[in-house]
Amino acid sequence: MAAVPQQFSDHYHRLLEQANAMTLKETAAIPEKVLQRMWQRAVFPEPLQSLEGHTLQILAPGWLNTSGGPDFSNAQITFNGETFTGDVEIHRNMRDWYDHRHHEDPAYNDVTLHVVSTPPDEKTPRATTAAGRTIATLVWPGEEALYDTDTQHAVPAHCGACASEIVNAHPDVFRKFLALAGEWRMLEKQRRLRARMDTVGPDQAIYEMFMVACGYSNYKEQMLRVARALPYERARQLAQQTPQLLEVALLRIAGLLPDPWPHAEEPPPHYVQAMTALREHLPGLGTLELDWRKTSSRPANNPERRLAGAARFLTRTADYGLHQKLEMAWRAPMTPLERRRAIEALFGGAMGFWAHQCTWNGAPLARPSAPLGTGRIRTIIGNALVPAALAWARLQKSARLEDHLHEFFAALPGEAENSVHRTMQQWLFPEGKPFRIGFREQQGLMQMHQDWCAHNPSCRNCTVLVFLRSLETGDL
């Protein structure tokens, strides 16, 4: 039987395997962390010496971490001529390490260097990890270099070798590389989803992936737990019963439907209707113990709104079921733009209570806004619905469906930029983007960051250039 033509290429994986075989290993293990933002001020005096007498050379200061944990991840530092990769924590005073309880937190076990701007006295204990390891200490001469926020987003003094040797001279070659990396990222996502489909079926697997994509990095686990607590078949039944009932169930399970009403002012009619629906149709529905602590994100991204938007999409696809409804959209003869608009229409617009509110009792929004905005919808389509359809196309060996998906994926506009997108673009395109960065290219940047750049910001022994030149000469 002839093989079914496949549009999504796995050529990038071959490049990665060859790179792993060719790249020299460092003397210390490389942490596998998702890194957020590159620390872009990379000028250090040489030589440096730690308080313990180690001679230091900062090859790369690491990547700025805006979440919990050490300040900078995967810094590359030479200690007495031997290169190590690890995290860096920066304080004004040595005592801050203990005041902040880092010595009890396993998240700081990989810290390689503790940088302080004030020299400690002899009685001050050195920083130690929860595992009992003493960390080398560097006193930084000049506090402004560490705490000047105006310089955090400056272009680094040195950029990736790819930027200087390939990106500007041969942008078409680099774009091809990013396209291959982006397609490989989709293939990896669909492989994981296919494994889940084998266990719970296509509807439940797609539903879980969709719910995770409705949240963002801080709420992924919570959204997944909600999706598993309310299985898809039950969610679909509720959606077909009354328009509001699925929203009520999701909010109740998530612990985001307060009962009793906790505020002095009268509850809004939407809340009263929700509680009536809960008591009449869902008596005894329990609530999960979930942490929805608010982050620095915009109030319009609050989990209440995200769950309300998810309920609306699931209600609009409940007639045929999630999997079948989406497959109809993927298989229909349309241009990529027509297909995207047809899928976006399933999310609905700015209507109802959550078009005006971010919380149950907060001040209304200045202007109506859909619970799932354009940027989040783009993220959901690219990160959940495309991999789901690709998984099904591979299971069904459907060349036609994969053709439609590949054409759609190549034309899909970029999602709202995240910290990795910004980091990689500043690193690789210091003179400006030489080509359009769509969703596929963004996925390629993230894959490149994960496989090459995150753990090796100094470009030490990096083999990416070898493969970019192979693309240039057509040897791929």
| CB neighbour burial string for 208-230, b if at least 16 within 10 angstroms, e if fewer | bbbbbbbbbebbeebbebbbebb
Q: 321 by DSSP, 3-state: which?
A: coil
Which secondary-structure segment (H or E) carries 111?
A: strand 111-116
Angle at Cα 249 formed by Cα 211 and Cα 345, nearest 5°?
50
Of all residues in the chain, what percent carry a pLDDT higher than 70?
A: 84
Say if residue 25's pLDDT is above 60.
no
Of all residues in the chain, what percent carry a pLDDT higher than 90?
A: 50
Mean pLDDT of 378-386: 96
- Residue 190, burial from CB neighbour count under 10 angstroms (0-12, 13-18, 19+): buried
Task: Report pLDDT digits (tens) over 182-218.
Answer: 999 999 999 999 999 999 999 999 999 999 999 877 7
Which secondary-structure segment (H or E) carries 255?
A: none
What angle, rounded to 10 degrees, do the helices at 220-229 and 245-254 form?
120
Mean pLDDT of 252-281: 94
Say if residue 11's pLDDT is above 50.
yes
Say if residue 38's pLDDT is above 90.
no
Total residues found in the chain within this entry: 476
Spatial distance between the Cα atoms of 434 and 429, rounded to a whole number of angstroms: 7
> What confidence score (pLDDT) does residue 66 get?
66
Tokens 């750049």 correspond to 453
> What confidence score (pLDDT) does residue 39 get?
32
Task: Report pLDDT digits (tens) over 338-348.
Answer: 999 999 999 98
Spatial distance between the Cα atoms of 84 and 106, rounded to a whole number of angstroms: 19
Lowest mean pLDDT among 33-42, 68-77, 433-442: 33-42
Q: In which band, very low, low, confident or very high, does the pLDDT at 90 lie, cut at 50, 70 and 90?
A: confident
CB 267, CB 274: distance < 8 Å: no
In terms of pLDDT, which residue wins out, 175 or 474?
175
E-strand ranges in 276-356 read none
Say if residue 362's pLDDT is above 50.
yes
Q: Is the dihedral of CA 333, 336, 339, 343 positive or negative?
A: positive
CB 218, CB 295: distance < 8 Å: yes
Q: 91 by DSSP, 3-state: which?
A: strand
Which range is most confident: 79-88, 164-173, 326-335? 326-335
Spatial distance between the Cα atoms of 10 and 405, rounded to a whole number of angstroms: 15
Task: Report pLDDT digits (tens) over 157-174.
Answer: 445 667 767 787 788 888
Tokens 């970019």 correspond to 468
Residue 107 token pair: 């998240």
Mean pLDDT of 24-39: 32
Spatial distance between the Cα atoms of 312 and 112, rounded to a whole number of angstroms: 48
Tokens 């993230």 correspond to 446
Tokens 């879980």 correspond to 208
Say if residue 102's pLDDT is above 70.
yes
Say if residue 148's pLDDT is above 70.
no
Mean pLDDT of 126-140: 89
> What confidence score (pLDDT) does residue 182 get?
96
In terms of pLDDT, which residue wins out, 401 or 297?
401
Spatial distance between the Cα atoms of 173 and 323, rounded to a whole number of angstroms: 37
Task: Report pLDDT digits (tens) over 407-421.
Answer: 999 999 999 888 889
